[in-house]
Structure 1
Amino acid sequence: MELRHLASFLAVVEEGQFARAAARLFLSPPAVTGHVRQLERELGVPLLERSPLRLTEAGERLVPHARAALAAANAAADAVAGLREDTPRGSELRVGIMVHGSAELTPAILRAFRRARPETNVTVVSLDFTDHVAALVEHRVDVAFLRPAPDDERIVSDPMTTEPRIITVSERCPLADAEALRLADVVDEPFLGLPDGVSRAFSDYLYFGTARNGEAPRLNPEGVRTPQDVLTGTAAGRGLSSGLYSFVRFYSWPGVRFVPLLDAPWEHSVLAARRDDTRLEVQAFRSLAVALARDLGPTLVPPPPLPRPWSGGNDSRPRAAGR
């Protein structure tokens, strides 16, 4: 859900015509129409009736939330804009993003920062699983959207989203038939392995280290580094993997199912930075991100449904493919 789509939707509602909304936003009418249609596709419901133009019930419910989201984004941008005079022109900020970052918050924060501080050159860097700590401590990025929070005294983390956990399973695996699972259903299954160099915090997150009481999981030596590695390995039946609930909204893959874990502890995605980095552009980015996470997080990252848990029981629990 993009802020510009919400802005187009509100403009149509307030102006009463697509043409007047387009003129107000300095866009073409087809662009505004496209924004509203994209928003309707993402939400899965019509927001406007076209002839005559009026709000649907879903549209009426969205209006106050859309106004709150846009107001929060503008307030966050205004909060850091005052630092602009102290930042030299041509300053740079390298933003690392691992997997899909902090869901829909990530692009919202980047857009708001660019609007508030256009004199800062922002570069986005894709990070793989081995970069969880290394990219920051090796000064390859200045801030990074990660999960979970790094367990390293050199790094400070600001929580962005707090989400339930899911398991990725092959559609040929008996576990794929479950509407939901519990940790006891999966901890003994083989998981996709990670390459050397991955931080302990990330491997504990991926393999539910706390639930295992220190016992190592059974691993297939895949050496997965990226979400694509996870999805291809899962589809091939080589093992399970895990993620945050928002992973479902950003990735799909033939032969892969995502199953909620009902009793797994919820986990944060975070914005991380070096503790000793006091540059104004880093402080401004963190301040804006924290403000948007507080105000937009509940709107942009909806909670999952609560499906019935799988009832196979431990004794008859199905085994993952390839065992």
Structure 2
Amino acid sequence: MALAVKTNQLTKTYNNTPCVNNVDLQIPEGSIYGFLGPNGAGKSTTMKMILGLIKCSGGTVEVLGQTMNDKNRLAILRDTGSLIESPSYYAHLTGRENLKIVCLLKGVPEKEIDEVLRIVRMEKQQNKKAGHYSLGMKQRLGLASALLGRPKLLLLDEPTNGLDPAGIQEMRELICSLPGKYGMTVMISSHLLSEIDQMATHTGIIDRGELIFQDSLAHLYEHSRKQIRLRTMDNKAAFRYLTDQKVTCRIEGEYLTFRDMPDDKLAFLMAGTAASGAGLLRIQEQQQTLEDIFLDLTGRKVSL
């Protein structure tokens, strides 16, 4: 599997305290890689090191098959686009004029401006001064700048910040379309579990500077533990019966919960529960959400 980004023992230390600690990223080409973690976990610092915006304290970075160093950094960056932390712009210039400057800096023909404006749906606002844009429009302008030059790799740091629900949906659809339509690899950081869940094909979870999980999103869900939720007319009687059958269960409000099991065993237990006089009302299968899985891995909650 070809990798768009590969890091080896990537480390950044401030005042002898590691902010990023021995991180080994592997981002497959053509993937949408969700870089997930709480605020302050080290996401932005890692992305800045990938781009060479800050020097790493240790380790190496490979981008698009080349090891990042001072000699080839500019050549590598010609094939990348990025939106890190907050978009940069000249407030007194229009959106289109800002993009013309980016074209000049990147050596990209200005004819690409119309295309990126269409992609981020900014055609009607292109002649408005950037200083008058809403935060969401500034995010779109930053993304348009990142897309100039048709980069092979796109790094987006919290790109849905400041967008209203409709804007978030549009941004999500746009990001999901980039690998298929333009062959891009997208690395997107977020503390919003629901966003990563709906966009990413692969994910890396960073917590306190350490990468604690990395694989496809499907494999992340394999960490999920399915549970059976059972509601009866007499939960105490059902609890006694299930406990006698060596089933570890607990009463949570109006339900009993226990670990999932094969269908034949569950059918046998439910028949026995009904025969015990507990009176079955409802049986539900419940799977952990991405938030639950994250909490299991990190021991703490994150924003939704």
User: TM class by shorter-chain length?
Assistant: under 0.3
Normalised by the length of structure 2, the TM-score is 0.23
Normalised by the length of structure 1, the TM-score is 0.22
Richer in strand (by share): 2
* CA radius of gyration, larger in: 2
